[in-house]
């Protein structure tokens, strides 16, 4: 009798497990091929087991439990486009999910070398980050959400039908296919929450194939000389950066109705590889700030000389033909430790205030990065 009951129980459990696997597999869509590529970075058995468990958990969490959104109230005195550009110094008027920060000041992105605030403004929104110290690491860290978005619904009129979105971003270049890669997006929805296809939305990522930046609109990008770490510091890869630039969208066909703009920046589908983006939006046709991407002449770059490296107390910088040059130095944590305006000729930079060690530097011309590299202070 006991044997018969055991057999029946086994059959019932087997059928239930088979049914769950066949009809509602929570890991359906999990890319095991690229997961194995990530797993190969980890050499110890315990680390591989933890990474496998956390990868599956993170995939399910992202698939079924997106980050909760927070709505920030907009002042009743504000116009339809009030604080669209975050110039109130906050996110009022926007609904935001995931990690974000209102950026201010004269800081420079350590990977892309561009300002963290849109040129011409005082504040910008950053969605997501490169915090690799996740809650699934050992010991657990503070990073628990890997997708981030900001949305806003407005009534389209003749005065605000042209929307300019200024953006910049950085993506860790792990060779994912497009559908799994870290990315950032600019999307629009009509009053019935249907995606708007004319004008089309914008999306950008770094993917393999083709082994480079993929975007559905003209995009300026580059490869940083500063590499980035994966989650829990499992691996290190190059980074792609997108300096500040503008995409313009015409919604004249929607005058008299509402549209929703949604800005997003997501890590890769498996939450190993990060991506973050900065945004500054304008829907006032008469006062919008559009960013022109500066192209520095290659002959100007060739006249730039930096020596000696390693350096002891003095670093020599010959800026040659560069216009309004500037030096910014970062420590290995990406924190700015020195900033100097340079002359158009030869400069001697005192390094006495820097401790011995490895640093990263960027040279700018007219607020556009023209060179990155490593600096060793002895």
192-219 confidence digits (pLDDT tens): 999 998 888 999 999 888 888 999 887 8
DSSP 51-79: HHHHHHHHHHHHHH-PPPEEE-PPPTTS-
Distance of CA 157 to CAs 81, 163, 254, Å?
A: 11, 11, 8
Q: What is the pTM of this model?
A: 0.71
165-202 confidence digits (pLDDT tens): 999 999 999 888 888 899 999 999 999 999 998 888 99
Say whether pLDDT at 303 is over 50. yes
38-93 confidence digits (pLDDT tens): 777 667 777 778 778 777 777 777 677 766 666 666 543 344 788 889 999 999 99
8 A C-beta contact, residue 240 and residue 223: yes
Which pLDDT does position 99 carry in this prediction?
Answer: 95
Say whether pLDDT at 328 is over 90. no
Q: How many CA atoms lie within 13 A of 213 on its CB side?
A: 22
Say whether pLDDT at 329 is over 50. yes
190, two tokens: 């009509």
Distance of CA 86 to CAs 102, 126, 155, Å?
A: 8, 11, 18
8 A C-beta contact, residue 244 and residue 166: yes
Which pLDDT does position 71 carry in this prediction?
Answer: 67
DSSP letter assigned to residue 253 = G
Structural domains for the chain: 52-282 (2.60.120.260), 298-377 (2.60.40.3080)
8 A C-beta contact, residue 189 and residue 154: no
8 A C-beta contact, residue 374 and residue 360: yes
């Amino acid at each position: 009798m006991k044997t018969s009951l055991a057999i029946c129980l086994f059959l019932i459990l087997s059928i239930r497990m088979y049914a769950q696997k066949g009809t509602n597999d929570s890991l359906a869509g999990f890319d095991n091929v690229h997961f194995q590529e990530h797993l190969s970075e980890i050499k110890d058995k315990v680390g591989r087991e933890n990474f496998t468990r956390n990868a599956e958990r993170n995939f399910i969490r992202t698939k079924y439990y997106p980050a909760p959104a927070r709505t920030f109230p907009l002042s009743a005195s504000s116009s339809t486009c009030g604080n669209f550009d975050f110039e109130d110094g906050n996110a009022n008027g926007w609904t935001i999910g995931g990690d974000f920060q209102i950026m201010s000041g004269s800081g420079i992105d350590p990977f892309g070398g561009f300002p963290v605030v849109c040129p011409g403004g005082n504040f910008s929104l950053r969605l997501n980050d490169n915090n690799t110290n996740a809650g699934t690491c050992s010991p657990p860290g503070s990073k628990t959400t890997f997708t981030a978005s900001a949305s806003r619904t407005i009534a389209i009129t003749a005065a605000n039908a042209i929307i300019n979105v200024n953006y910049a971003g950085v993506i860790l270049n792990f060779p994912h296919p497009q559908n799994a890669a870290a990315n950032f997006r600019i999307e629009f929805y009509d009053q019935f929450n249907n995606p708007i296809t004319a004008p089309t939305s914008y999306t950008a990522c770094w993917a393999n194939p083709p082994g480079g930046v993929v975007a559905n609109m003209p995009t300026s990008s580059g490869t940083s000389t500063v590499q980035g770490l994966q989650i829990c510091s499992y691996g290190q890869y190059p980074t792609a950066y997108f300096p500040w630039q503008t995409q313009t969208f015409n919604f004249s066909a929607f005058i008299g109705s509402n549209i929703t703009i949604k800005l997003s920046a997501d890590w890769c589908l498996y939450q190993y590889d990060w991506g973050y983006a900065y945004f500054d939006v304008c829907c006032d046709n008469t006062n919008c700030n559009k960013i022109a991407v500066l192209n520095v002449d290659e002959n100007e770059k060739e006249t730039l000389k930096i020596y000696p490296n390693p350096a002891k107390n003095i670093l020599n910088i010959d800026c040659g033909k560069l216009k309004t040059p500037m030096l910014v130095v970062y420590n290995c944590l990406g924190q700015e430790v020195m900033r100097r305006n340079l002359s158009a000729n030869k400069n001697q930079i005192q390094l006495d205030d820097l401790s011995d060690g490895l640093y990263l530097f960027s040279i700018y011309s007219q607020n556009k990065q023209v060179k990155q590299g490593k600096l060793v202070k002895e």
